[in-house]
Amino acid sequence: MAKTLLLEVGIALTGIAIAGAVADRAGLSVIPAYILAGILIGPNEPSSVAGVSLTLVENREFIDVLAELGIVFLLFFLGLEFSISQLLADRKRIVKAGSVDFLVNFGLGATLGVAFGFSVIETLFIAGIVYISSSAVVTKSLTENGWIANPESGPILGTLVFEDVLIAVYLALLSAVVLGGGSMVDAVTSVGVAFGFLGVLAVVAWYGAETVERAFDVSSDELFLLRILGTTTFVAGAALAIGLSEAVAAFFVGTAFSNTDHTERIEDVVAPTRDFFAAVFFFAIGLTTDVTVLDDVVLLLASAVVVTTVGKAASGTLSGRAYGLDARRSLRVGLGLVPRGEFSLVIAALASSAGTETLRSVIPAFAVGYVLIMSVLGTVLIQHADSINAMLVSGPGGFSRE
Amino acid sequence: MTVYETEVPGVGHKFELELDGGSRLVVILHHDGKRELYLRPEENADSRKLFELPGKQARQLGSILEGAYFQPVEMDDIQVPMGESIIEWHDVPAGSTLVGRSLQAMEIRERTGVSVIAIQRGDETIDNPLPDTVVQADDILVTLGTREEQQSFSELAERTDDSGG
């Protein structure tokens, strides 16, 4: 068994590399590619093609740990790049745009959950999964389509910053409930402990910036890297050990660094490590996904795709208007926020460690299917935003006139 | 000219410069050092990407734009000091041959090799004195030159008569 572990890891990493290359060629986000690679060569369906086994990688504990680190470092970088100063400087508009985004999309997600008969907890998971946009895919699309230099990038990025705060709160709450144990008392206690721990981290992040600055002022890149990795993983692991969300802990560790002068260096030295762990995370999601479960949720999936795409387009357009943008740019804001990705999967990963059967397999499978579709759909919509705008402007009869 | 700065999470920083005529230059500074430059001709138009440069070339371009590679020089013969030059402060005593004569007339640079970069006169400092500046008693001349040149000038400043070269 041990002899083949290295080979399996090698196959997994090669698979990830090939998937990334294919996605890059196709001009699409790498996230769905990594997931599909995991689905393809994982133990679940599709397991063989014309009698030849496709199961090259079993779901191993080792890959799970790497995937866990992927979550930790994705959220660490989110915290690192989280600009509290930007949020405060533009707070009126960001709060407006962010609130509209939350109310519309989380609301639609919750409605879907209730309409399809899920429990309260399950509905909360579904709402979170369909609400949060993918900062990675959105930012990449903004850069590739040149929107980054246009006014519409303002509300788009502002909404993403607002979502950062909400996802931290959301994950903290949900983790406490899920990991904390069954009864109401347990849940409330663990929420209290969670906010206590995070409160301590937040205080360290805010007031300890100078100490952090000095503690990490080391000239060797190697030592710098090790210190960052060690600290982040340790704090995240400690959080998880006491039943809190390791993701949110990592987020707060990231914010602790965002106030120091080390941010550029961290981007330089630690980003490749994050890229590696994150890629394994997406791959591992694919490994654990049983696509046959999707049969049960096809209707939910289809409804979610349609409803939440329209939801984001609408809420984004309203946000664009709140920023004083014209109709064309406001629509871009709407379409720009459609891509879903890494955070929906982080939420799904949390679900898969939960109690009920539905949470463990149905919700994650739904999330994977949803992200696969929405990451690609979002990218395509952004690329064709102007055509869509033209179509909407000239009305339903516009097709024949074009 | 207003400069707007925003952070772009996951990418880097964005700077927008308002140009005359209402257009805007948008500069994106990526975390990995890459610089992208866009031009937006007017508010309603889309930004057009002009070019992008990797970090090192971007910094070189920046230096050129700043004038560090080529700086137009106002005066005609400037000696750029190298390595062994030092700066000295020389007292001009009352009886010195320098007193009452202009720097040009004394042909200081030609005779000794130093450049007079400033004159301290009481509380006043005359920096970059023009060649026709007249030296007064109790001035302190601040000069730049090699040790040999400074020595040569010392002797000139202390001379009280004009005999000898």
Q: Is the pLDDT of residue B53 over 90?
A: yes
- Residue-wise pLDDT tens digits, A147-177: 988 989 989 998 998 998 898 889 888 887 7
Q: Measured between alpha carbons, how far is B10 from A254 in angstroms, rounded to an integer? A: 13
Beta strands in chain B (DSSP E): 3-8, 12-18, 24-30, 35-40, 48-53, 86-91, 115-121, 124-127, 140-145
User: How much is the pLDDT for B103?
Assistant: 87
Q: Which residue of B has its CA nearest to A136?
A: B10
CA A339, CA A308: separation in Å to the nearest integer?
10
Tens-digit pLDDT profile for residues A302-320: 999 999 999 999 999 999 9
Minimal CA separation from A129 to chain B, in Å: 21
Q: pLDDT digits over A50-80, tens only?
A: 556 667 767 678 888 899 999 999 999 988 8
Asked if residue B34 has pLDDT above 60, the reply is yes
Q: What is the pLDDT of residue B37?
A: 94
Give the tens place of pLDDT for each residue, A203-253. 887 787 788 888 888 888 899 999 999 999 999 999 888 777 888 889 888
Q: End-to-end alpha-carbon separation of chain B, Å?
A: 57
Q: Do A148 and B44 touch (CB under 8 A)?
A: no
Instruction: Look at residue A41 and give its three-state secondary structure.
Output: helix
Question: Which pLDDT band holds residue A18 (cuts at 50, 70, 90)?
Answer: very high
Flag whether pLDDT at A125 surpasses 90: yes
Question: A84 in contact with B at a CB cutoff of 8 Å?
Answer: no
Calpha distance A189→A181 (Å, rounded): 10
Q: Is the complex ipTM higher than 0.85?
A: no
**Residue A385 C-alpha, separation from nearest chain B C-alpha, in angstroms:** 13
Q: Is the pLDDT of residue B81 over 70?
A: no
CB contact under 8 A, B49 and A160: no
Is residue B81 within 8 Å of B144, Cβ to Cβ?
A: yes
What is the distance between the alpha carbons of residues A212 and A190, in angstroms, rounded to a whole number? 28
Q: Count of CB atoms within 10 A of residue A168's CB?
A: 23
Residues of A whose CB is below 8 A from B8: 139, 148, 153, 157
Cα–Cα distance, B6 to A240 (Å, whole number): 35
pLDDT, mean over chain A: 86
Q: Are B49 and B69 in contact (CB under 8 A)?
A: no
